[in-house]
Amino acid sequence: MRAYDSQYIDGQWVPSTGSSTIDVINAATEEVMGSVPDGTAEDVDRAVAAAAAAFPAWAATSPDERGKAIQAIAEGLSARNQELAETITGEVGMPIFLSQMIQAGLPAAVATSYVSLIDEVAWEETIGNSLVVKEPIGVVGAITPWNYPLHQIVAKVAPALAAGCTVVLKPSEVAPLNAFILAEIIDGIGLPAGVFNLVSGTGPVVGEAIAAHPDVDMVSFTGSTRAGTRVAEVAAPTVKRVALELGGKSANVILDDLEGDELDAAVRKGVGSCYLNSGQTCTAFTRMLVPRERHDEIVDIVRDEVESVYTLGDPAAGAGRLGPLISDAQRTRVRGYIEKGVEEGATLVTGGAEAPADLPTGYYVQPTVFAGVDNSMTIAREEIFGPVLSVIPYDDVDDAVRIANDTDYGLSGGVWGADAERAKAVARRLRTGQVEVNGGGFNPLAPFGGYKRSGNGRELGKYGLEEFLQTKAMQL
């Protein structure tokens, strides 16, 4: 049980000005595993004031000094890997062996990457009679989600600090405990007071107070498209920079030249992408686009993969490949989409909306596959954020590209083909921020972000750092 009764503001743990707390529920046991303060707009005012006061001195530090601070944060994260993994497994439901690598390991790696990336920034450049300089944008409000909670925090905090910005963080109220561990790490390394501040609370209160605050120079938000549009709306009157990483409905195109083992591997890898973190992944390949004449053959492979590999079980014990969803509300939402798929005429291949009989406790949803899906169906158009895969047939490559791009979103996607150059040519035609070609692995140094309603701006690597910089021209 982790019960936090204070916010981290101006280098100190201080009581919230509010009197309420928010319980954090273990996704597998449905029991309270911790609590955090239910913060207020007044807490945000204090945090922003501290960040604004700390900004001039932090912005004036050398990149080398900022790099050393980030290295210390990365080392602190690595030292508490097991604790972080266990905490996030409880909060989110990802199996512990995956949490160790992804939920706890990836944030440490991302933080470490910015130690050297600082040196790649062209802080000054001469263009004719002008000296063009890069400067930190100022106070950054970071509002982060629950599905990869610590990774999304570090993907904002590390580059912001590297750029010379100060930060006010609001973690998701559903999975906030890992953020408090990060604050403990930052407090322990002696980062100057006010450079990093943590205010827990709800989006409508704390999140909107950050977005609207006139002394916040930039808001970086990750979450649903609905919530992101609200953040942009609230931030608009102050004309601050807004970076949004939002939802996705990614298509995985299986090309018609794949045969035998290559086809088998492509399909099985696509299932894995859809079901990572029980489908609670914004980049999940939730639409598998397959040649119409190979549809039934591919569905058989999908069924075998799901029923033989993607078992449900206690995530803390590593008992299954899939854990529960984050909450009862999310479970209800996903089950509703499954029921909608059946109502609209998609073929239910495996899974379903019924609760798994052997797991009466925990927010579990059966891994579900629909075949014969038309891209106009609700399950093909809306982000479900659960373990639900739609197999959609196409007639030819042009039809596949049309279906893939026929979406409000554009965050990620995949293309698999026997001819690598042909696969890359198809990938170039997809209107999405990232595309995996023949299973290319996630690269934390590559830019991450979306087209269309999947957002704007980029995270990770040097592109993520540049988001937190302003450009000034000095005419000499």
- 97-136 tens-digit pLDDT: 999 999 999 999 999 999 999 999 999 999 999 999 999 9
- Residue 120, burial from CB neighbour count under 10 angstroms (0-12, 13-18, 19+): exposed
Q: What residues are annotated to the active site?
A: 245, 282
Architecture of the domain spanning 2-246+453-475: 3-Layer(aba) Sandwich (3.40)
pLDDT at 159: 98
Region 7-24: mean pLDDT is 97
Separation of alpha carbons 52 and 67, rounded Å = 21
Q: 211-224: per-residue pLDDT in tens? A: 999 999 999 999 99
3-class state of residue 406 by DSSP: coil
Contact indicator for 141, 53 with CB cutoff of 8 Å: no
> Are 279 and 306 a contacting pair, CB within 8 Å?
no
| Mean pLDDT of the residues in the chain | 97
Tell me the per-residue pLDDT of 158-193, one tens digit each, with 9 for 90 and over: 999 999 999 999 999 999 999 999 999 999 999 999
Buried/exposed code over 347-366 (b: 16+ C-beta within 10 A; e: otherwise): eebbbbbeebeebeebbbbb
**Per CATH, the architecture of 251-444 is what?**
3-Layer(aba) Sandwich (3.40)
What is the pLDDT averaged over residues 267-277?
A: 97
Residue 142: closest CA among 66, 206, 93, 190: 206
Q: CA separation (Å) from 475 to 128, 134, 340, 470, 472?
A: 9, 15, 61, 16, 10
Q: Is the pTM of this model over 0.95?
A: yes
Q: Residue 198 forms beta bridges with which residues?
A: 8, 169
> Does 1 have pLDDT greater than 90?
no
pLDDT tens-digit series, residues 56-82: 999 999 999 999 999 999 999 999 999
Identify whether the C-beta of residue 349 lies closer than 8 Å to the C-beta of residue 369: yes
2-246+453-475 and 251-444 have identical folds: no
Question: Quick one: tokens of 345?
Answer: 């005429």
1 CB-contact burial (10 Å; exposed 0-12 / middle 13-18 / buried 19+): exposed
Residue 433 pLDDT level (bands cut at 50, 70, 90): very high
- Kindly list the distances between the CA atom of residue 118 and the CA atoms of 51, 62, 156, 196, 433, in Å, as whole numbers in the listed order: 21, 10, 14, 18, 24
pLDDT digits 0-9 by tens, 294-338: 999 999 999 999 999 999 999 999 899 999 999 999 999 999 999
Say if residue 293's pLDDT is above 90.
Answer: yes
Decide if 36 contacts 211 (C-beta within 8 A): no
How do the domains of the chain map onto residue ranges? Answer: 2-246+453-475, 251-444
